[in-house]
Chains A and B, each alone.
Chain A
Amino acid sequence: SQKIEQNSEALNIQEGKTATLTCNYTNYSPAYLQWYRQDPGRGPVFLLLIRENEKEKRKERLKVTFDTTLKQSLFHITASQPADSATYLCALDTGGFKTIFGAGTRLFVKA
């Protein structure tokens, strides 16, 4: 069956370090993949979209990679700050118009 996996355990890092979050998928061939940030009790907020023919995408301190061979996307936050603490969700298309979200990885950045 189709599956998206994100690190279920929370990620704890020190301020100033780089956070790396993983999104793995099976039985999909998505043409696009997105990353969202979600704070407790609030709606997800779009961060980045990467296409299958793009290996890497950057936006300020954020970087996303997309490896269609490994069926994996990595999401990096450089020079992390306590304000980056949140849950990060990956989302991809399953063909057609459906968007499937991963369960998310909780990131804690300690000052």
Chain B
Amino acid sequence: DSGVTQTPKHLITATGQRVTLRCSPRSGDLSVYWYQQSLDQGLQFLIQYYNGEERAKGNILERFSAQQFPDLHSELNLSSLELGDSALYFCASSATSSGVHNEQFFGPGTRLTVL
């Protein structure tokens, strides 16, 4: 158990809908990262927050947004969903602002299925 929690575990929705994925980092970790993993794309970095502020952005679509709250939990919002958004979404946390300088602890993921 990494100490990172993600809810929900599974999510099934329809095209055009909007969903929110939630992540609670390990106790004491200030950085939260979001990744998307699909079969043909591998693990893709979406966005990082550090202590409430956006720190780095990857290939995140404009339909997606995220935020980190004062209690350090984070939410990833996906809107106008398309079939291609079906994937595993992982949240990770680390103690510092630089994920590669320190290990990242990954949550169990949320499996999103868009029908």
Residues of chain A touching chain B, judged by Cβ–Cβ distance below 8 Å, are: 30-34, 41-46, 49, 89, 91-93, 96-104
Please give, as numbers and ranges, the residues of chain A lying within 8 Å of B109 by CB-CB distance.
Answer: 41-43
- Is residue B108 contacting chain A, with contact meaning CB distance below 8 A? yes
Q: Could you tell me if A43 and B92 are in contact, using CB atoms closer than 8 angstroms?
A: yes
Report the number of A-B residue pairs with Cβ-Cβ less than 8 Å.
Answer: 69
Q: Could you tell me if A99 and B99 are in contact, using CB atoms closer than 8 angstroms?
A: yes
Tally chain B residues at the interface, Cβ within 8 Å: 30
Q: Could you tell me if B104 and A46 are in contact, using CB atoms closer than 8 angstroms?
A: yes
Residues of chain B touching chain A, judged by Cβ–Cβ distance below 8 Å, are: 2, 4, 33, 35, 42-45, 48, 50, 55-56, 58, 88, 90, 92, 97-109, 111
Q: Could you tell me if A43 and B33 are in contact, using CB atoms closer than 8 angstroms?
A: no
Instruction: Please report the C-alpha to C-alpha distance between residue A42 and residue B105 in the assembled complex, in whole angstroms.
Output: 12
Instruction: Please report the C-alpha to C-alpha distance between residue A89 and residue B101 in the assembled complex, in whole angstroms.
Output: 16
